[in-house]
Amino acid sequence: MNAPVRLGAVSYLNVRPLVEGLSERPDAVSLRFDVPSVCAALLAGGEIDLGMVPSITHADRPDDRIVPSICIGSEGAVDSVALFTRRPVRQIRSIALDTSSRTSVALTRILCARRFEISPAFRPAAPDLPSMLASADAALLIGDPALFADHVALGVTKVDLGQAWSDMTGLPFVWAFWAGPGGVVDAPVVRLLQDAAARGAARTDAIADAYCAGDPPRIAIARRYLRSHLRFALDTPARSGLETYYREAAGLDLIGRAPALAFFDE
């Protein structure tokens, strides 16, 4: 009997529909949750076989294979990756960058150069919005902290980076996908992951309710987020968005070269 495939997933709400029911298959997979940057590090260290890795990780590991058809993506506003700013965007001179995801950091740099037409100073920071804004004009925040931040109470503007990307390119953005070395998973495991995503897409309200249990205001936000702000299909438009992201990142020397996309067999 083969050992279970070791999966590493991001710890935010946005991945939960993609892992629906996987805990019931310990014979096939094991699952752990971490922030995106840790997922990438675990994959690099061989501590997991397959990771829900930030998109930019593929530039570091271009020989990896991607599980077809599945991603964490968005088209238009994503609501969980944003700049929070007290100044108009064109007046931003410094940005504190959430260290949890290199993908969003690179996207911020691309949008500053190509969409916002600004050249701010960037500084890494832990994802704590008040302290980030105490040291910079704006803050990049991702994941649950961005999704649930009450920017109105803080008196700041929320600039959605998924929306900014779609406005600039007309394409979806792909934030993360399952990837790992060729040969680590076979077609039955690929189908298992695809089936989990299909189950999760049909149960987003229940997933949101369980994730935010006991917090009705957050439940409402989470339901809307999973229903309206995410797209989980790594289809042709999403692939075009991903390839465009890599070209933009390479054009700004944020990665060495734009990697090709290669997939596990179904």
Structural domains for the chain: 5-73+174-216+233-241 (3.40.190.10), 81-169 (3.40.190.10)
Give the predicted TM-score (pTM) of the model: 0.94
How many angstroms separate the most distant Cα atoms in the chain? 60
Percent of the chain with pLDDT over 70: 100
| Cα angle, residue 37 at apex, residues 148 and 103 outer, rounded to 5° | 75
Summarize pLDDT for 125-178 with one digit per residue, the tens.
999 999 999 999 999 999 999 999 999 998 999 999 999 999 999 999 999 999
Among positive and negative, which fits the CA dihedral 46, 52, 58, 60? negative
Strands, E assignment, the chain: 5-10, 29-34, 50-54, 65-66, 69-74, 81-85, 94-98, 121-125, 138-142, 157-160, 173-180, 231-234
Structure tokens at 140: 């990049």
